[in-house]
Amino acid sequence: MKPLGAGDPIRLGPYRVLGVLGEGGMGKVYFGRDDSGRTAAVKVLLPELAHDPHLAQRFLREAHTARAVTSGGVARVLDAQTEDTGNRPWIATEFLSGPTLDDAVRQYGPLGSDGVRALAASLAATLRDIHAVGLVHRDLKPANIVLTSAGPRIIDFGIARPEHGLTLTTTGQVPVTPGYGAPEQVLGQRVGPAADVFSLGAVLAYAATGRRAYDGTHVAAVQYEVVHGQPELDSVPPELRVLIAPCLAKDPAHRPTPDQMAGAFAPPPGADRVWRTGPLAKDIERRGSEAVRQATVIAGDSGTGPSRRRLLRTGLVAGGVLAASGGTAGAWWLLREEPRVIPPAGQESYAEALSLLYGDHGTAPRELWGPLPVAAQAVDGVVTTPLPVLDVVVFAAKGGGLAARLTTDGKEKWRLPGVRPAAGLVALPGHLFVTAGDDGELRCFEGSTSRQVWSVQGADTGRILAADASAVYLVTRGGKLRAVDTAGRKVRWTVPLAETAVRAPGPRAATGKGMLVFFGADGDVLAFDTATGRTVWRLSGQAKSAVQPLVVDDVVFLGGRSLQALNVGTGVEVWDNKWNKNTSSEEPQQGAGGWGPAALQDRYVLAMDGTSLSQVPRDSGLAFPTRRSVPGPIPHTPPVVEGRTVWFVEADGRGVSAHSTIDRGRFWTWSPESRGPWGLSSAGYRVFLVNDGKLTAMPTIG
């Protein structure tokens, strides 16, 4: 089991996530534990795939099909989130403490004749149960069979389908594991129970020899042999070969049934000792003990957490947003005089879900860890935003330099002196980040270890603005805009800037589609070609000072005197959200600075306009205020979207508020005793806050 990283959730439904069991091309499997102590393997779709309708449907089908099978030979489904609630779907199955057949054979060698017989008889009986409810597994392979002390268990019903009503598919459309999928699967023909028998035959050949019956380095060649060639069974013991060979017949009608296989492979007494004694049994026992130990240790830690911050409830008034709790049209705003608690579950529909986030009914979620007095104070009114990198969060440390703390518990991982975090802290691909040395040297480090990967001495770094896959963009100490090539470790180009563009508190920038969008401290916006440094377009007088731009696909969103969407490559206006009496009942406080920096949440752009956090459809630009705030200047910090929660700095700087995007209009404010600038970032269903020299991690709604 691997520890959680910065991108991993901390809770999925009723399960507290304790570790990572594995990861594949579609999803990730976590080790979870509910409040009763029951453990589970919880599988979720990878975030980048969750919006793919085909893959999401396949994932949901897995939950439904697995629930239909009641056999003791499959991993039992305990719970699932499959409804379209805006959350990532997940499936919780019983935790199986054992290696896959693939891992077991690789580590301990072939099972032996008796072990293969026991394996075959057990799996054949399980296939019989699967087929009895009208399903075909269609992806039986060594990696989908877990060996436990109670016997083998079949997992992963991701491409299982009903036997009846199957439609013909084009070759290659249905996922087929090379060497294990039946010929009819490879050819895209109708698939029935006999396809699982073919797969089982290939599995048994592997278990008996440690080699695949259809082997090769190229997928196409292996699939050709499955359809036209003969399996390699010479190294299979003769007494097993005569039983396995019929399973691999090209014609489905010539393969035995699971019942026939169970009878033919009937093992002698004690044949199942292969997973009850010896090295494999010790491995199974070790995995189970490790999981129990980790669950006990982590669960024990939760009982002595830090003191809780009470959160503010909200009230309902007339407006234009539909509130999910009662279906009433209305906008919500903060009522500071109301009790600083979340209401009991019996009174508010969403309170029960909120209470799962490290709180009890009638109380608020508490900090995951912190506040820790370990961070540097603001410099010139600006806080260095904490940067999550893999399993740590990197921040400007008290006393100088950088430090990193584990995202899971806040324990210190490393400290790094001799760098100037006030110059900026920007992530790079590969779990790396860049900052500046005291001498202006641009330095790149590995996030988890603080190991220096490379440096560019001639960068003359004053302030790091942004980075993309090939370059870091910065303002030099002499006030010029510079691109540093990360592959060649050299300056790519340098262009002059107006002195007013780099005055305190400094410019902001973002990259996308080969463009660097530079928002100067004088309020002018310039777009540069990242390859050459050529100015492509300019927008003058957008704001009184720099506002962080947001680039999404081929559009850049700009705050300032209005919230605008421009084509990032041409500067042509897509839409311009000025105040409109037909769409808003109250004019935004333009004198206070207009619109703040934007963030993206699904199909919406979120930004503060001085009095409200507004939700703007990214395609139309028609704003709908979703939450009132105390009037004041526009915060420099963009809203942070994590899971189904939006966090933003109150306009008066007194706290940070959270907005649930599931239950519109439910807000909380985390209000420490101090005021001042804030730094917000997020990853892995955690929000990291820096304020007044303190670092805090808060939970979010997944």
Positions annotated as catalytic residues are 139
Using CA atoms, how far apart are residues 253 and 256, in angstroms rounded to an integer? 8
Q: Would you say the C-alpha torsion 238, 244, 248, 252 has a positive or negative sign?
A: positive
Other beta carbons within 10 angstroms of residue 37's beta carbon come to 10
User: In sequence order, what DSSP letters do the residues of 316-378 get, joined into one string?
Assistant: EEEEEEE-TTT--EEEEEE-TTS-SSPPPTTT-TTHHHHHTTT--TTS----SEEEETTBPPP
Return the closest-CA partner of residue 409 out of 2, 15, 3, 681. 3
Residue type, position 215, single letter? D
The Cα-based distances of 552 to 171, 494, 576 in angstroms read 36, 25, 16
User: Residue holding tokens 């270890």?
Assistant: 449
Cα gap 276→295, rounded to integer Å = 24
How far is the C-alpha of 34 from the C-alpha of 86, rounded, in Å?
A: 22
Q: How far apart are CA 41 and CA 220, in angstroms?
A: 34
For residue 464, the one-letter residue type is I
Cβ neighbours around 620 below 10 Å, total: 11
Omega before residue 505 within 30° of 0, cis: yes
Question: Alpha-carbon distance 259 to 256, whole Å?
Answer: 8
> Which residues, 6 or more positions from 576, have their beta carbon under 8 angstroms from its beta carbon?
562, 563, 564, 565, 621
Alpha-carbon gap, residue 244 to 236, rounded angstroms: 9
Q: Are 209 and 235 in contact (CB under 8 A)?
A: yes
CA distance 58 to 628: 41
What's the token pair of residue 80?
């699932």
Alpha-carbon gap, residue 234 to 146, rounded angstroms: 26
Strand order of the β-sheet with 329-334 is 314-322, 329-334, 624-628, 612-617, 604-608, 599-601
Which residues lie across from 412 on neighbouring strands?
405
Residue with tokens 């990242």: 530
The dihedral sign for the CA sequence 368, 369, 375, 377: positive
Residue the block writes with tokens 């449907």: 57
Strand partners, 435: 443
Distances from the Cα of 234 to the Cαs of 178, 238, 608, in angstroms?
20, 8, 71
Residue 393: strand pairing partners: 388, 405
